[in-house]
Structure 1
Amino acid sequence: MASQRLDEFADTLKRLIQDNEVSLREEETGRVLSNQDGILLLSGLSGCALNEVVLIGPEEVQALVLVLRESSIGAVALGAYDRISEGMSVTRTKKTFSAPGGDALMGRIINVFGDPIDGKGPIEIDHWSQVEAAAPEVMERSSVDEPLYTGILAIDAMIPIGKGQRELIIGDRQTGKTTIALEAIVNQKGRNVNCVFVSVGQKNSTLFQLFREIERVGALDYTTFVVASASDFPALQFLAPFVGVTIAEYWMKKGRDVLIIYDDLTQHAIAYRTLSLLLNFPPGREAFPGDIFYLHSRLLERAGKLSEEKGKGSITALPIIQTQADDISAYIPSNVISITDGQLFLKTNLFNSGQRPAVDLSNSVSRVGGTAQQAAIKSMTSALKLFVSQYFELIEFSKFSSDLNEESKKTLALGARILPILRQSPLKPYSPQDEVLLLHLISSKLILEIEQVEWVSEVCKRVLDAWRTHKLYETLSLNEKVSMNVKDVMTQLFRSEYRSFIVSSAS
């Protein structure tokens, strides 16, 4: 009897063990040694990796590991650091910080954690990727051979940008750097280019105006904003560009073209310097840590164009750098200039003189964009570059001598008429067909027929309106040089509209 009961007990015990399988979970834990306004010193976690996310306390506040020492670990809190106290347990996640991906992000404004901050409800995220990822290998890339039009004549003609290129926008504050980036976004409407705008360290009031303007012109539908404002922790400002490029990489790997704006990497560098000094990194030039160059290079190297085998997707990066007194030889500006494929240099004196965009054409360059320029535009840009350079040379010369020959006077007259054409209103980009017409008016010197410089803008506006309704406007092939027949049509349109302008002005 006792033996039977013992067997029944054993069977019951076996059944209970089978029904309630115990799974073992291995965790590596440590402790918080100190918390100084979110700068954490941790013990334990001997297997922890750099840039790994750890969870602290019962509320699992996230922190990012930035320093590995033999006896301790330095980390920065990514959340409410006032809820972290000494002695709290710390658990490894064995993962770096992650960012969302997917089409649900288009038209939304998110923070670094992927949470929406636009008041439009939650976002259904079905894909997360770690923000620390290797850039595409050399053999996985393709050459830059497709143009990315900004809609700005001066840039598309003389400093062209190609898909997969990294073109720096650099200049003092209040010179129109962000406006150029926004115009590039606006011009991608209907061109199957997804846009990501990363805002680092900007004021909330400035961001609100920016969002409203983008929404007003209908560019928000294909744009994702990643925001780490001036009121956010430096750690979040440090992570924001990496979150943005991770979102862009999701689409690039799907074979799509992406334009990403970093506004701006100067604030990003300052945030990283703040973290580094608080974590006792040895300071270098201008108190920046020694790996600041590597920080920006590993970020910007993730832009590029993939090969056909990898889907032919691309990320075009337009990082923004703010200078002081036009000093491009400072540490951060010179670093990013050496990393990128060219720069658009904006000058304060040009901006104050009314030139928009205030691009210094003599100091701006695009090292790879010229190979992506389409034949219709490329065939006309050499004349524009020559005319503009000659004009500015003669302007300097005329300051010291008033004795100019007829050819020099003609060059000055031509240059004076070119500048109003290069001057554009904000967020009103030109189409490539518009640019072909304007370049024809310049290269053929037709604008010299306009008697007064003040008339140039209005006459060109009238000619553009007439050109946009012409049947050749939509059928114009941008991949071929402009034929004489098309040039004759554009010439006739100019002279016809100029005559009607003269008549209307006289009446």
Structure 2
Amino acid sequence: VKNPEILNSVFDEVKAKVEKSTKVSNSGLVINVKDGIVQVIKLKGSFLGETVWVKSQNKEFRGLVIGLREEFVEVVLFEGVSEVCEGDLVIRSESPLGILVSEKLLGRVVDPLGRPLDSENPESLFSAQDNPADFKFQALFNNAPEILERDPINESLITGYKGVDSLIPIGLGQRELVIGDRKTGKSSLLIDTIINQKETQVKCVYAMIGQKRAELARIVKDLKHSNALKHSVIVSADASQPAGLQYICAYAAVSIAEFFSKRGMDVIVVYDDFSKHADAYRQMSLLLRRPPGREAFPGDVFYLHSRILERAANTKRRNAVGPKFGSITAFPVIETQAGDVSAYIPTNVISITDGQIFLDKVMFTKGIRPAINVGLSVSRVGSAAQTKAMKKVAGTMKLELAQYREIAAFAQFGSDLDATTQSQLHRGARLSEILKQKKHAPLSLEEEVLILYAAVKGYLDDLEVSEILDFEKKLLAHFNQYHSAILLNVKLNRDITADTDFLIASCLKYFTHLYKKARAQFAIATEKTTSVESEE
């Protein structure tokens, strides 16, 4: 500080004016303002993560202590970035930054400070008539659960996508990265996962970090249309918000998830996306003059994401003495540039998570939706998170698809292929086609098992590739109408017993016969129509 005597006199003058109207203790003075980062002197006793209030022009703005220096304290502002100026008074709250949480948040859109952003009751989420026991103050920077508080991941989370649930199974408490280029269906895959939980007790928290407001409106509309918003909370800090608000958005989301988890519920948290979250932290760090590293990110950017993702865990502790909580399943999203997964932030998050779902731009352009690259996607939890029914039908699928991709790459260079190779290409093309799925059309576990059973057992081998999706649609309609008891049995037992296997095989054989017969009749009718038209 260049002129401490002048600053002291200014500080005492400002403090004396403010003390006339309010009692001030543990206060400081703003000496420098730069793009949402302010430097404060005389703020004794402050600590990292503390909430502070900046008084400026008869207004109060919230900020967070993010750096402690010998001469001053560094504070990042969440609001009033263009209004705070040198000489403003800063008052300590003497409490960590947090958010007020209750079950009333379900179905709402809020910012990282808990302020409602939707049109429904925009003033406040809480009223004087609320029972204090129903809501809780959650600190944003809580520690992750200890090792002994965690339980193995052994329960499956059904996303509703055949390709994910069969080949890249996800368990409750897992951290699964969703990675891919821009506009490859990352958000759509996660929105469908949330939609698929509406019949379960799983709660969902969606953190939108640095996204467009139009994207937020689209997601809210999709969830409302699917009747899935009622079990979800959306936390948004859009691209127009200060970097500080985008920085705490992910922490606010996981803190809300912890509230539900500690009440025995299973929770999904989506961070969309960590690329923009890292960009916001880089912006803050450069303004704080912290030494830049690779791609100008600060040295602690790895810790930035690991401290968030480590808070996701299965803490049910069924076999332990003590409180039994729920689980938090994390889905961080990373946007790559031209499919480069070796960039700094992608490699960091890949090393933290328990697997990744890689969405391929080339596959997306070809019309393969979801564009999941099975070769680059993996779940490190594996079959431990799969139901017995899914294990039985999907056991050999990944190997067959891998062989198909390898053979298909060489088959384009020559036509002399033996019968075994042709058979693998034939089967692989149909397996690839059956994994396609429309947007916002997630399937239940029993429906997925039925479709994959038909594919693995060879009921699709006599069909043309163009007929696969039509066959799937009519198969589901047939079973839901005439054989719903079989589907209910798979849903309740989550297994295919010998009796169930016999029933499914018998019904599939009969339906396949009907489908082929109808197809033949349609072909004859089409041929007659064509011949009549040609004669005319």
Equivalences for residues 66-77 of structure 1 within 5 A: 66-77=66-77
Structure 1: runs of 5 or more not aligned: 1-24
- Residues 443/301 of structure 1: CA separation in 2 closer, same or farther (3 Å cut): same
User: Per the alignment, in what secondary structure is the counterpart of residue 446 of structure 1?
Assistant: coil
**What SS class does the counterpart of residue 82 from structure 1 fall into?**
coil
Deviation by residue 1:175-223 (Cα, 9 ceiling, x = unmatched): 1100111010010011111111100111111221221111111111111
Q: CA RMSD in A?
A: 1.5
Cα shift readout 1:75-102 (whole Å, capped 9, x = no counterpart): 1111113332222222211222211211
| Residue 246 in structure 1 maps to residue 255 in structure 2 | yes
The residue that corresponds to 2:126 in the other structure is 124
Q: Amino acid of the residue matched to residue 123 of structure 1? A: L
Conserved 8 A contact 1:459-1:501: no
Counterpart selection for 2:448 from 396, 414, 435: 435
- Which of residues 172, 181, 184 in structure 2 aligns to 1:175? 184
TM score, norm. by length of structure 2 = 0.87
CA distance in 2, matches of 1:258, 1:76: 30
Matched, 1:486 2:503: yes
What is the distance in 2 between the residues matched to 1:205 and 1:391? 40
Deviations 1:121-143 (A, max 9, x none): 03127322110101111111111
Residue 30 of structure 2 contacts residue 89 of structure 2 at CA under 8 Å; is this kept in 1? yes
Task: Give, in whole Å, the separation in 2 of the partners of 1:443 and 1:478.
Answer: 21
SS at match of 2:332: strand
Task: Give the residue type in structure 2 aligned to 1:141.
Answer: R
**CA distance 1:425–1:505, shift in 2 (3 Å):** farther
Choose which of 315, 319, 329 in structure 1 pairs with 2:332: 319
Task: For residue 482 of structure 1, report the CA deviation from its aligned partner.
Answer: 4.2
Partner residue in 2 for 1:463: 475
Of 284, 288, 295, the match for 1:275: 284
Between the aligned partners of 2:38 and 2:437, the Cα distance in structure 1 is 50
Aligned equivalent of 1:332, options 345, 369, 372: 345
CA, structure 1 residues 44+397, in 2 after alignment: closer, same or farther (shift >3 Å)?
same
CA distance in 2, matches of 1:432, 1:353: 27
> Which of 458, 469, 474 matches 2:488?
474
Deviates more, 1:495-504 or 1:270-279: 495-504
Q: Aligned pair 1:286/2:333, yes or no?
A: no
Give the letter aligned to residue 75 of structure 2. A
Pair 1:454 & 2:466 matched:
yes
Partner of 2:430: 417
Rate the CA distance shift 1:213–1:505 in 2: closer, same or farther, 3 A: farther
Structure 1 counterpart of 2:323: 310
| Residue 500, structure 1, aligned to residue 512, structure 2 | no
Q: Does structure 1 residue 140 correspond to structure 2 residue 149?
A: yes
Q: Is this contact kept in 1: 2:204–2:267, CA < 8 A?
A: yes
SS in 1 for 2:175: coil
How many Å apart are 1:505 and its aligned residue? 4.5
| Secondary structure in 1 matching 2:395 | helix
Question: 3-state DSSP class of the match of 2:82?
Answer: helix
Residue identity over aligned pairs, in percent, reads: 38
Which residue of structure 1 lines up, in the alignment, with residue 130 of structure 2? none
- Other structure's SS at 1:270 match: helix
Aligned to 2:101: 101
Q: Would the aligned equivalents of 2:36 and 2:244 in 1 still touch at CA under 8 Å?
A: no
Assess, with a 3 A threshold, how the Cα gap between structure 1 residues 90 and 375 changes in structure 2: closer, same or farther.
Answer: same
Separation in structure 2 between the aligned mates of residue 82 and residue 353 of structure 1, nearest angstrom: 47
Paired position in structure 1 for 2:38: 40
Q: Which moved more, 1:162-171 or 1:395-404?
A: 395-404
State the Cα deviation string for residues 280-311 of structure 1 (Å, max 9, x = none): 11101100011110010000001111123432
Quick one: distance in 2 between partners of 1:51 and 1:315? 23
> Hey, what's the Cα distance between the residues in 1 that align with 2:150 and 2:195?
27
Tell me how far apart the structure 1 counterparts of residues 522 and 105 of structure 2 sit (CA, whole Å): 50
Paired letter, 1:48 = S
**In structure 2, what is the equivalent of residue 18 of structure 1?**
none
- Partners of 1:98 and 1:41 in 2: CA distance: 22
TM-score (norm 1): 0.92
Provide closer, same or farther for how the CA distance between residues 427 and 505 of structure 1 changes in structure 2, counting only shifts above 3 A. farther
Query: Offset at 1:491?
Result: 3.2
* Distance across 1 between alignment mates of 2:226 and 2:89: 50
Matched, 1:155 2:164: yes
Q: 1:478 offset after TM fit, Å?
A: 4.3
Return 5+ residue gaps in structure 2 as ranges.
1-22, 128-134, 526-536
Cα distance between partner residues in 1 of 2:89 and 2:467: 73
Cα–Cα, structure 1 residues 71 and 431, in superposed 2: closer, same or farther, change >3 Å? same
In 2, Cα distance between equivalents of 1:325 and 1:409: 33
The 10-residue stretch of structure 1 (497-506 or 167-176) with the greater mean CA deviation from structure 2: 497-506
Checking the alignment, whether the CA contact within 8 Å between 2:34 and 2:287 is kept in structure 1 is no
Preserved CA contact (<8 Å) 1:50 1:66: yes
The CA deviation at 1:324 is: 0.6
Provide the secondary structure at the position in 1 that maps to 2:486: helix
Following the alignment from structure 2 to structure 1, what is the Cα–Cα distance between the partners of residues 300 and 43?
24
Measure how far apart 1:495 and its partner are.
3.0
* Partner Cα separation in structure 2 for residue 475 and residue 504 of structure 1: 34
Which shows bigger deviation, 227-236 or 362-371?
A: 362-371
Matches of 1:434 and 1:29, distance apart in 2 = 62
**Contact 1:202-1:229 within 8 A present in 2 as well:** yes
What is the number of equivalent residue pairs in this alignment?
482
Q: 1:199 to 1:487 in 2, by over 3 A?
A: same
**Structure 1 pair 315–184 and aligned structure 2 pair: CA distance change class (3 A):** same
